[in-house]
Structure 1
Amino acid sequence: MSLLPLATALGASAGLVLGLTGAGGGVLAVPLLVFGLGLSIPAAAPVALLAVGLAAALGATLGLRQHIVRYRAAGLIAACGIVTAPLGLWLSHRLPAVPLALCFAGVQALVSVRLWRGANCAEVPRARCPCRLDHATGRLHWTLPCARALAATGVLAGLLSGLLGVGGGFVIVPALRRFTDLEMNSLVATSLAVIAVVALATGGATVAGGLVDAALALPFALGTAAGLLLGRWLAPRLGGPRLQKLFAVVGLAAALALLARSHICG
C-alpha cells in the first residue's frame, strides 16, 4: 500500500510535463517508474503507455471542446502509428535489457537537446511548411507533401511508442512545428489526440496480454491525469525558455542515470 501514494505522485510529475508541453510525459514516465518503483524498462513501458494514453485522451477532449484539435491530421498520424506500434512492442520484449536501456537513454538525451536548443532559438517563420492552415475554414490545406510528412511522423512515433512505452509526443510536436503553421495551443492539443489513440491502442494490447501491473498502473494513471490538468492550466502562465531548459536538464539527468544503471546491471 505504501507504493500507491508514490506511484500517484510520480504519475503526476509525468502528467505535468505532458500538459505543459504536449510531449515528454512518456519519456519521463519510464525513468520515474524504473527508479521510483524499481520496475524494469519492459515492465515500466506498458504502465507508462497506458497512463500517458489516458491522460492524453483527457487533454485531447479538452482541446476538442475548444475546437483547437486538427482531427484529420491527428487521425492520419495516429493511423500510421497504430500500424507500427505493435512492431515496436514486439521488439521491446526481444531486445536485451542493456541495448533497450541504451536506446531509451539515447532518445531521452535527444529530446533534452532539442528542448534546450529550442529554448535558445526564436520561432522562425514557417512560410514553406507543407501543411498550411486555411484561416477561412480553420482547417489544414491538404497536399501530397503534407500527407507524406504527417504519415512519416506517425510511423516513427508509433514504432517508438511500442518499443519504449512513450507516447511519441517528442516526435509529433517537433514534426508539427516543422511541417505545419499551427499555433502552439492547437499543436499541443493535436499531439495529445495522437498520443491518446496510439498509446491506448498499444496499451490495450498489453492489458490483453496480462503485461500490466494494475495495482501500480491505476494510481500512476490517475496521478498522470491530475498532473496533465494542472499542466494545461499552468501552460499559459509558465511556458517559456526557462521551463524548456528545466525539462531539458531533468531529461538529460534521467538519460545519464539510465545509462549508468544499464552499465551496472549489465
Structure 2
Amino acid sequence: MEFTALFAELIAAEALMLKLFLGGIFGLCLGLTGVGGGVLLIPMLQRCCDMPPVLAVGTASLIATMVKVNASIAHVKAKNVSWKTVSMLFVGALPLTYSVTQLVVYFNSHHLYANITQQVVTTLILLIMVVSLISVLLKSRKNKTQSLIHIEQPLASKKALLSGVFCGSIIGSTGVGGGVLLIPILNSVLNVNIKKSIGSSVILALFLSGVTALGYAKGGQTDVTTALIFLTGSFLGVPVASHLMKKLSDNSIYKITISVIFVSLLFYTLT
C-alpha cells in the first residue's frame, strides 16, 4: 500500500511539473509572437493531458484569458497596440463569439450531437492553423521585398468590422484565433505592422477568450485546476518574451511566428 501511494504521488508530481513546463512554453510563445492560445494549448491539453476537444477548448480559453492579462500589460507598456483597430474588431467579434460558444456547448451536451460536435471543432482548428500558416508565410515574403519602413494605411472600418465577425465565430467555436488568426488579419488584411499586430492580437484575444471561457465554464467544459497550473508556469515565460521583443527585428519575429505555428500544426496532427 505504501509503495502504491508513493508511486501515485510521483505520477502526480510528474504531471504537475509537466503542466508547469508547458505553461512556461506557452507564456514565452504568447508574449513573443502572439500565438499560443488555441494553437499551442489545445494540442498540449489533448495530447499531454488527455482531454477531449471541447473540454480542451474551454480550458485553453480560460488559460489564455488569465495569461493574456500579464502579456497585455507588457504590450501596452511597449506601445505595441493599435487601439482603434482593436476597438473595431471587438465590436464585430463580440456578438458572434458569445453566440457560437453557446451553440457549441449546447450541441456538445446533447448525446445525439456530441460526437459530431467534437469532430467539427477538431476539423475547424486544423483548417484555421493551415490557413494562418500560409497567410503569415505570404506576408513574410511580401515584407522582405518592401521597404523596412512600414507605413500604416487608414483603417477601413467596414473591413475591420467584417474581420471581427469572422474572428468572433472562429474563436467562439474553436478557441483558436488569438494569434494564429488575428495576427494574419491585422497584419495582412488591415495592414498593421507585425509588432503592433502581435500586441493588438493579445489585447483583443484577452477579451474574446474571456467571453469564450465564460461560456464553456457555464457548460462544465473547463478544467480549472489545470488552467491554474498552466498560468503559474506562464509567469516565467512572458517576461522573457517581453525582453526579447525589444531586441528582435520584424523579420526575426516573422520567422519565429511561422516556426511556432508550423510546430503547433505538426503537434496537433499527432493528437
TM-score (norm 1): 0.79
* Residues 111-120 or 2-11, more deviating: 111-120
Question: Which one has a bigger Cα radius of gyration?
Answer: 2
Give me the whole-angstrom Cα distance separating, in 2, the residues matched to 1:179 and 1:96: 30
Structure 1: 5+ residue runs without aligned partners? 132-145, 259-266
Give me the whole-angstrom Cα distance separating, in 1, the residues matched to 2:49 and 2:221: 16
Match of 2:126 in 1: 105
Using the aligned pairs only, state the percent identity: 20
Match 2:174 to one of 140, 146, 164:
164
CA contact under 8 A between 1:160 and 1:166: conserved in structure 2? yes
Could you tell me how far 1:21 is from its partner in structure 2? 1.3
Give me the whole-angstrom Cα distance separating, in 1, the residues matched to 2:196 and 2:94: 22
Match 1:79 to one of 47, 71, 91:
91
- 1:203-229 deviation per Cα after TM superposition (whole angstroms, max 9, x unaligned): 123334443221111111232343233
Q: Does 1:257 align with 2:270?
A: yes
Amino acid at match of 2:183: V
Q: CA RMSD in A?
A: 2.6
Could you tell me how far 1:236 is from its partner in structure 2? 4.0
Residues 24, 116 of structure 1: alpha-carbon distance in 2 compared, 3 angstrom cutoff? farther
Amino acid at match of 1:221: L
Match of 1:88 in 2: 100
Q: Structure 1: which 4+ aligned runs deviate by more than 6 Å?
A: 125-128
Q: Does 1:215 align with 2:228?
A: no
Give me the whole-angstrom Cα distance separating, in 2, the residues matched to 1:91 and 1:257: 27
- 1:179-224 deviation per Cα after TM superposition (whole angstroms, max 9, x unaligned): 4454433222111110111111221233344432211111112323
Question: Number of residues paired by the alignment?
Answer: 244
Give me the whole-angstrom Cα distance separating, in 2, the residues matched to 1:181 and 1:117: 13
Correspondence 1:200-211 to 2 at 5 A: 200-211=210-221
Q: Does 1:7 align with 2:19?
A: yes
Give me the whole-angstrom Cα distance separating, in 1, the residues matched to 2:240 and 2:151: 33
Structure 2: 5+ residue runs without aligned partners? 1-11, 108-115
Give me the whole-angstrom Cα distance separating, in 1, the residues matched to 2:104 and 2:234: 23
CA contact under 8 A between 2:98 and 2:211: conserved in structure 1? no
